[in-house]
Amino acid sequence: MLIEEGVKYQISQTVKGFFNSAETMTVKRNTGITVQFILGDSKGHGSMPVDHFQYLLKKSNLTLIPHKRNLLTTELNEEQIS
């Protein structure tokens, strides 16, 4: 999965304690080696190796929050198909 800047993720209940009990995290920068992130509700920031970030995604500890613009585009495309 491609890790893009500005993408927001929901943090699962099982790992919230490791992220200052934040509900969400937003990717600030991906250098290819590390991922820098900002925690929701001004609960901090940090970084981790890309491999660990991908592991959290694989284990469903982080879940992608779809961007509203993408949802609108998908709805428009479905209406055009009908």
Per residue in 16-40, pLDDT (tens digit) is: 999 999 999 999 999 999 999 999 9
Q: Which residue has the higher pLDDT, 71 or 37?
A: 37
Residue 66: predicted pLDDT: 85
Amino acid at 58: K
What SS3 class is residue 47? strand
- Cβ burial, residue 19 (10 Å; 0-12/13-18/19+): buried
What SS3 class is residue 34? strand
CB atoms within 10 A of CB 57: 15
Spatial neighbors of 55 by CB under 8 A, at least 6 apart, are none
Residue 67: predicted pLDDT: 75
